[in-house]
A and B are shown apart, each in its own frame.
Chain A
Amino acid sequence: MSDWIAIAKFDDLPRLGARVVQFDTVRVAVFRTATDQVFALKDACPHRGGPLSQGIVHGHLVTCPLHNWRIDLATGEAVQPDQGCVRRFETRVEAGQVYLRLAETAVETMPAACVSHG
């Protein structure tokens, strides 16, 4: 359990929105969907590095604010016809608290296509 980090209260995440969590090494966008699912992606679009946290969330997707790439929150992959993938982080909600795992070891949580993109 030690690698799970408490990052925010669930209620502090806006529904259909995101919060930015800045770690020492990485900036992470934590999303909350209309159905209250929580996802976390590195806050950089695979296209030009746009801040995904600033995009519009709809369904399981976020649309990047810079050039409208759509990224699947669950897999980190861009929706066709765009191609690319962004690093995904595991999240967990327990007793109103959101936890995130930076998951240096959790390569298995990334789809195969993502591994090469880091």
Chain B
Amino acid sequence: MEKLKLVVVGNGMAGMRTVEELLKIAPDLYEITVFGAEPHPNYNRILLSPVLAGEQQVSDIVLNGMDWYAEHGIRLHLGRQVSRIDRKNRRVEAVDGTRADYDRLLLATGSNPFLLPIPGIDLPGVVAFRDIRDVEAMIAAAARYRHAVVIGGGLLGLEAANGLAARGMAVSVVHLAPWLMERQLDEPAARLLQRHLEAKGLNFLLQKQTAELVAGESGRVCAVKFKDGDSVPADLVVMAVGIRPNTALAESAGIHCERGIVVDDTLQTITDPRIYAVGECVSHRGVAYGLVAPLFEQAKVAANHLAHYGIARYTGSVTSTKLKVTGIDLFSAGDFMGGAGTESLVFSDPGSAVYKKVVLKDNKLVGACLFGDTLNGAWYFDLLREGTDVSEFRKTLLFGQQHLGDSGHGPAGQVAALPDTAEICGCNGVCKGDIVKAIVEKKLFTLDEVRAHTKASSSCGSCTGLVEALLAHTLGGDYSTAPSKKPLCKCTEHSHDEVIAAIRDQGLKSMRAVFEALEWKTPDGCASCRPALNYYLLVRWPGEYQDDARSRFINERAHGNIQKDGSFSVVPRMWGGLTNPRELRAIADVAEKYQVPEVKVTGGQRIDLFGVKKEDLPAIWRDLAAAGFVSGHAYGKALRTVKTCVGSQWCRFGTQDSTGLGVKLEKLTWGSWMPHKFKLAVSGCPRNCAEATIKDFGVVCVDSGYELHVGGNGGIKVRVTDLLTKVETEKQVLEYCGAFIQLYREEAHYLERTAPWLERVGLNYIKQRVVEDAAGRAALFERFKHSQQFAQIDPWKARAEGLDAAEFQTIRITA
């Protein structure tokens, strides 16, 4: 049987997406002919901005190369604009006379840039921002000329302005409305955007109406004149005031058009059922869409009917706009302006360039406008589409979904809560379910792989954070966040995780072996990788690997904290913060004997002796050891302190013996080397005087047992712990603590505190390893106790007795 003939007019995103969908379900039904007015294969028009800005090449944005057309037997007529449709004989004809017969015709003629009807619009140097030719003209102009004026402060205009500025031009943006992107943003959000762009060097002329483009001596445009008489110099004028559906061809063939080619729910033109239309040229139920997502929905429906399936209907799209304008995330949907009968909830933090507004009507979300922080856009959009009553959580609505229920789980928790049908990538219409399925079935591990397999996050990139969160959530500990692999340091191409795996799987037991097996680029590493490797080897091969002092930072080599004048500080261990007169007397004696300039109580309930000369360290340690002290490891990437409150022994509120438990925990864990410093605390009741909820591992005693909290941090970025679990006995506290520490020791990256580690791998993963898997927990705890055999050797006593003596001795030469 002879194949049916399908002719597609328009080689853009909507047309070729329809062909792709058609080939998926009916690959042999049609003989396909495609006419494209541009001389290029099908490319991603959204990515013209990065091409203009010099971030991508034209070849990077091609969606289907010439080989794709050949492979599917598609006859492609490039650079040939169709000028006539002969509906009677079912034939199209191009300007150059090329003809093609059709059984079905698909119009995907897109839109044309709207050019203001003003004098000078035809001058050389005046371009639109629509296709590759425009971009090439702009790039050429940027290389030769200085002043650019972009007319139109919508998304397209701002992208053009940004690209031209990136290419070194002085750019002014002219906009008729009182603020930028007024169709997507309200005034406060637009002001933030404007401020951000002004900081990048763009100049804005708002509420200015362009009257005329003025020609210079060369005949090229030289200035833009406004209605109010002002003018600005312009060697290049970019028209970006809007687009108009390209209906000329359809109209000439007598096909009914209003704002666009009028189609019904099957994407057939209402005039001629053999002729379909999709994309920006279409008017469906009175709406012409200019965003990618609706076009792709249309493509799917049109392909379904072209394939004779006849079951799909396009009923219109509710659109939201999730955009990235010059690196800033924006989101808007629905009635974001608000008005009579609506209420607006607003969060505004101009200092950190974050603005969030949701508009409610009758306790339902009807619109949203987000600037700077768009993570919750998808959630708001779902609430909007589904008309959810938000009265139960309107107080926390602005702070996002993670504030419903358990707090502090970060974006991973948020994406976990989304339904499978939630759209993650608005550009390519990819839902959460598709992404998760691809990650699991195709064993994807990186953002680039997800992009390649699902197209999610491959267009504008504004959903990248969500896709990464999905990866992290789906893979747990297997996911490495960096979009492209981040090397451990400049000495290697390998990441932390790869190095850890190689040491484990290849049985590498010395630094030399790591350098050789992983082809280190430097003969003996650097000050970044050597301490990391020393740690990884030490934690993987306890008792076997010989610690390399030369790969330790000075604090860990000299077992004291180096101070800015080169002196050291000495902090003896006080178990659980407990001390007694004998110990205090010994410390006082040492401070006097060695003329310690300053004595201070630390935040971790210890006493710190400051300003000790390095040469004096072994002698001080000898005196302290004689009084029973061991090193407090206040200088190390190691177990630091266990802070306690007095607990049930004294406190009238205490529920358990927090001090005693703290001492037991410290006896268990002291001496262990960690990826970074590690702090514990035990509070005797929920008043939490020991501040256990900002520690790496915190215990809060309650009447019925012990709450175990993990991943807290009181440092640069305060992070409250997550509740790991609740246990009933002290013995369990010790086991869970040891197991948690061992998991952290084995799997975190060197110099990664528990807080970022937990956020990277997810609380669920840690719970699964430490709480749910009892056998795994016991094994972790055993490994921890095994390694502690080799770690709990007091480094001070050893050095007081002569170990590494040369390290502490100065050679004195007098004339």
**Which residues of A line the B interface, CB within 8 A?**
5, 7-8, 12, 14-17, 19-24, 34-35, 48-51, 54-59, 61, 63, 65-66, 68, 70
Contact A23 B527 (CB under 8 A): no
How many angstroms between the C-alpha atoms of A5 and B811 in the bound complex? 12
Kindly list chain B residues whose C-beta atoms are within 8 Å of the C-beta of A8: 811
Please name the 4 residue pairs, one residue from A and one from B, whose CB atoms are nearest each other, closest first: A63-B527, A16-B550, A54-B554, A56-B527
Contact A15 B806 (CB under 8 A): no
Determine if B541 is an interface residue (Cβ-Cβ < 8 Å). Answer: no
A53 to chain B, nearest CB (A): 9
Contact A56 B813 (CB under 8 A): no
Kindly list chain A residues whose C-beta atoms are within 8 Å of the C-beta of B558: 54
Contact A56 B550 (CB under 8 A): yes
Contact B813 A58 (CB under 8 A): no
Kindly list chain B residues whose C-beta atoms are within 8 Å of the C-beta of A66: 562, 564
Q: Mark B543-568, 1 if CB is under 8 A from A, else 0.
A: 00000011111110110001010100
How many angstroms between the C-alpha atoms of A28 and B585 in the bound complex? 38
Contact B564 A24 (CB under 8 A): no
Kindly list chain A residues whose C-beta atoms are within 8 Å of the C-beta of B531: 56
Kindly list chain B residues whose C-beta atoms are within 8 Å of the C-beta of A19: 806, 811
Take A19-B806, A50-B566, A66-B562 as given contacts and tell me if A58 and B812 are in contact as well, using a CB distance cutoff of 8 Å. Answer: no
Contact A54 B810 (CB under 8 A): no
How many angstroms between the C-alpha atoms of A69 and B443 in the bound complex? 42
Determine if B259 is an interface residue (Cβ-Cβ < 8 Å). Answer: no
User: Can you name 13 A-B pairs with beta carbons within 8 Å?
Assistant: A7-B813, A19-B811, A21-B811, A23-B813, A34-B523, A51-B566, A55-B527, A55-B554, A56-B554, A58-B522, A59-B522, A65-B555, A70-B527
How many angstroms between the C-alpha atoms of A8 and B811 in the bound complex? 8
Take A14-B806, A50-B566, A58-B527 as given contacts and tell me if A20 and B811 are in contact as well, using a CB distance cutoff of 8 Å. Answer: yes
Contact B526 A12 (CB under 8 A): no
Kindly list chain A residues whose C-beta atoms are within 8 Å of the C-beta of B815: 23-24
Kindly list chain A residues whose C-beta atoms are within 8 Å of the C-beta of B806: 12, 14, 19
Contact B562 A68 (CB under 8 A): no
Contact A65 B553 (CB under 8 A): yes
How many angstroms between the C-alpha atoms of A54 and B551 in the bound complex? 12
How many angstroms between the C-alpha atoms of A81 and B706 in the bound complex? 51
| Choice from A15, A17, A20, A70 contacting B810 with Cβ under 8 Å | A20
How many angstroms between the C-alpha atoms of A19 and B524 in the bound complex? 19
Kindly list chain B residues whose C-beta atoms are within 8 Å of the C-beta of A65: 553-555, 562
How many angstroms between the C-alpha atoms of A54 and B530 in the bound complex? 15
Closest to B814 in A: A24
Contact A57 B550 (CB under 8 A): yes
Closest to B550 in A: A16
Closest to B555 in A: A65
Q: Mark B516-531, 1 if CB is under 8 A from A, else 0.
A: 0000001111110011
Kindly list chain A residues whose C-beta atoms are within 8 Å of the C-beta of B564: 48, 50, 66
- Known interface pairs A51-B566, A56-B551; 17 further A-B residue pairs with C-beta atoms within 8 A, sorted by A's residue number: A5-B813, A7-B811, A14-B806, A16-B524, A16-B551, A17-B549, A22-B811, A50-B564, A54-B557, A54-B562, A56-B526, A56-B531, A58-B530, A59-B523, A65-B555, A65-B562, A68-B527
How many angstroms between the C-alpha atoms of A49 and B524 in the bound complex? 26
How many angstroms between the C-alpha atoms of A50 and B527 in the bound complex? 16
Closest to A30 in B: B811
How many angstroms between the C-alpha atoms of A81 and B522 in the bound complex? 20
How many angstroms between the C-alpha atoms of A8 and B557 in the bound complex? 21
Take A14-B550, A54-B554, A54-B558 as given contacts and tell me if A63 and B526 are in contact as well, using a CB distance cutoff of 8 Å. Answer: yes
B549, B550, B564, B814 pick with most chain A CB within 10 angstroms: B550
B612 to chain A, nearest CB (A): 14
Kindly list chain A residues whose C-beta atoms are within 8 Å of the C-beta of B550: 14-17, 56-57
B9 to chain A, nearest CB (A): 56
How many angstroms between the C-alpha atoms of A66 and B523 in the bound complex? 24
How many angstroms between the C-alpha atoms of A7 and B523 in the bound complex? 28
How many angstroms between the C-alpha atoms of A20 and B808 in the bound complex? 9
Kindly list chain B residues whose C-beta atoms are within 8 Å of the C-beta of A34: 523-524
Contact A22 B812 (CB under 8 A): yes
How many angstroms between the C-alpha atoms of A34 and B518 in the bound complex? 19
How many angstroms between the C-alpha atoms of A20 and B554 in the bound complex? 14
B501 to chain A, nearest CB (A): 24
Closest to A12 in B: B806
Contact A22 B524 (CB under 8 A): no
Closest to B491 in A: A58
How many angstroms between the C-alpha atoms of A7 and B811 in the bound complex? 8
Closest to A58 in B: B526
A13 to chain B, nearest CB (A): 9
How many angstroms between the C-alpha atoms of A56 and B806 in the bound complex? 16
How many angstroms between the C-alpha atoms of A20 and B558 in the bound complex? 14
Contact A21 B813 (CB under 8 A): yes
B531, B554, B555 pick with most chain A CB within 10 angstroms: B554
Kindly list chain A residues whose C-beta atoms are within 8 Å of the C-beta of B814: 23-24
How many angstroms between the C-alpha atoms of A60 and B555 in the bound complex? 22
Q: Mark B430-449, 1 if CB is under 8 A from A, else 0.
A: 00000000000000000000
Closest to B566 in A: A51
Kindly list chain A residues whose C-beta atoms are within 8 Å of the C-beta of B523: 34-35, 59
Kindly list chain B residues whose C-beta atoms are within 8 Å of the C-beta of A35: 523
A85 to chain B, nearest CB (A): 19
Contact B526 A21 (CB under 8 A): no
Closest to B615 in A: A20
How many angstroms between the C-alpha atoms of A35 and B551 in the bound complex? 16
Kindly list chain A residues whose C-beta atoms are within 8 Å of the C-beta of B522: 58-59
A92 to chain B, nearest CB (A): 15
Closest to A44 in B: B566
Closest to B804 in A: A14
Take A14-B806, A48-B564 as given contacts and tell me if A56 and B811 are in contact as well, using a CB distance cutoff of 8 Å. Answer: no
Take A14-B550, A59-B522 as given contacts and tell me if A54 and B566 are in contact as well, using a CB distance cutoff of 8 Å. Answer: yes
Kindly list chain B residues whose C-beta atoms are within 8 Å of the C-beta of A23: 813-815
Closest to A54 in B: B554
Kindly list chain B residues whose C-beta atoms are within 8 Å of the C-beta of A48: 564
How many angstroms between the C-alpha atoms of A24 and B347 in the bound complex? 65
Q: Which of B758-815 contact A (CB under 8 A)?
A: 806-807, 810-815
How many angstroms between the C-alpha atoms of A59 and B522 in the bound complex? 8
Closest to A56 in B: B527
| Choice from B524, B549, B812 contacting A59 with Cβ under 8 Å | B524
Kindly list chain B residues whose C-beta atoms are within 8 Å of the C-beta of A12: 806
How many angstroms between the C-alpha atoms of A3 and B810 in the bound complex? 21
A94 to chain B, nearest CB (A): 17
How many angstroms between the C-alpha atoms of A57 and B524 in the bound complex? 9
A60 to chain B, nearest CB (A): 10
B17 to chain A, nearest CB (A): 48
Kindly list chain B residues whose C-beta atoms are within 8 Å of the C-beta of A49: 566
How many angstroms between the C-alpha atoms of A26 and B189 in the bound complex? 61
B301 to chain A, nearest CB (A): 57
Kindly list chain B residues whose C-beta atoms are within 8 Å of the C-beta of A21: 810-813
How many angstroms between the C-alpha atoms of A55 and B554 in the bound complex? 6
How many angstroms between the C-alpha atoms of A70 and B814 in the bound complex? 30
How many angstroms between the C-alpha atoms of A63 and B562 in the bound complex? 14
How many angstroms between the C-alpha atoms of A6 and B564 in the bound complex? 31
A82 to chain B, nearest CB (A): 14
A18 to chain B, nearest CB (A): 10
How many angstroms between the C-alpha atoms of A21 and B551 in the bound complex? 22
A103 to chain B, nearest CB (A): 15
Contact A58 B525 (CB under 8 A): yes
Kindly list chain B residues whose C-beta atoms are within 8 Å of the C-beta of A70: 527
How many angstroms between the C-alpha atoms of A56 and B525 in the bound complex? 10
B336 to chain A, nearest CB (A): 45
B103 to chain A, nearest CB (A): 67
Q: Mark B704-737, 1 if CB is under 8 A from A, else 0.
A: 0000000000000000000000000000000000
How many angstroms between the C-alpha atoms of A23 and B530 in the bound complex? 32
How many angstroms between the C-alpha atoms of A35 and B554 in the bound complex? 21
A48 to chain B, nearest CB (A): 7
A31 to chain B, nearest CB (A): 11
Closest to B526 in A: A58
B795 to chain A, nearest CB (A): 17
Kindly list chain A residues whose C-beta atoms are within 8 Å of the C-beta of B524: 16, 34, 58-59
